[in-house]
Amino acid sequence: DAGVTQSPTHLIKTRGQHVTLRCSPISGHKSVSWYQQVLGQGPQFIFQYYEKEERGRGNFPDRFSARQFPNYSSELNVNALLLGDSALYLCASSLDWSAYNEQFFGPGTRLTVL
Amino acid sequence: DQQVKQNSPSLSVQEGRISILNCDYTNSMFDYFLWYKKYPAEGPTFLISISSIKDKNEDGRFTVFLNKSAKHLSLHIVPSQPGDSAVYFCAASAYSGAGSYQLTFGKGTKLSVIP
């Protein structure tokens, strides 16, 4: 079975640009969460989506937004990129919103903002 | 303010010996704790977890201990193997309302098991 997949693997953008990151959950998983991992830090929660609805949001500015599609895949959008947005963005899927103990992570998208 | 702290950035252990990774937390609302292992260029992989109603959970070579009064948990790996070399993240979960649980991660401890 395929695990969580994310695209692209790497991305380079300049300040002020917009970026869209994509995530496909494990088949049958209906919940997707996004995390930001800055170098030297642990992953930090950004969003959780379940059945196309936002269920949770971390302490991130409104420049960050996300959505979940009917096939449960998800997009993370970041507007007006800042240098500090450079990080590894991780997507995790689980069967449902309460399965916090069974989140499966993808390999991440490495975003570099110049 | 870090709610989950892993105060040791790195740890080196000889193969066959015990590895002990420590984690402290400050939020008393955390009710579930997890350890993840992360290799370079891969996402974190779930290792072992423990509910706040327990004080110990074992899975093969891995044991997690929870001391609620001290707000401290530890991961023991016995015996340590070179393949255990990775970054280990401690994470804690709390219900955040509106049907959502949030995981809060520590900064990680890089374990190196020396053959």
**B22-54: per-residue pLDDT in tens?**
999 999 989 899 999 999 888 999 999 999 999
- Asked if the model's pLDDT at residue A38 lies above 90, the reply is yes
**Is the CB of residue A46 less than 8 Å from the CB of residue A55?**
no
Cβ B103 vs Cβ B89: under 8 Å: no
Percent of chain B predicted with pLDDT > 90: 84
Find all residues with CB under 8 Å of B31, minimum gap 6, and list them: B51, B52, B93, B94, B95
Q: Structure tokens of A111? A: 């975003």
B32–chain A Cβ distance below 8 A for any pair: yes
Average pLDDT, chain A: 93
**Residue B31, token pair as written in the block:** 């009710």
Contact (CB<8Å) A106/B45: no
How far, in Å, CA of B74 to CA of B64, rounded? 6
Do B105 and A43 count as a contact with CB atoms less than 8 A apart?
Answer: yes
Q: Are B92 and B25 in contact (CB under 8 A)?
A: yes
Mean pLDDT confidence for B86-100: 85
Instruction: Output the pLDDT for position B98.
Output: 67
For residue A99, what are the CA distances in angstroms to A50, A53, B101?
Answer: 11, 16, 8
Predicted local confidence at residue A25, as pLDDT:
96
Classify residue A74 as exposed, middle or buried by CB count within 10 Å of its CB (0-12, 13-18, 19+). Answer: buried
What residue in A sits closest to B37 (Cα-Cα)? Answer: A105
Are A56 and B44 inside 8 Å of each other by CB?
A: no
Query: Rounded to the nearest 5 degrees, what angle is found at the Cα of A67, between the Cα atoms of A13 and B45?
Result: 75
Higher pLDDT, B29 or B12: B12
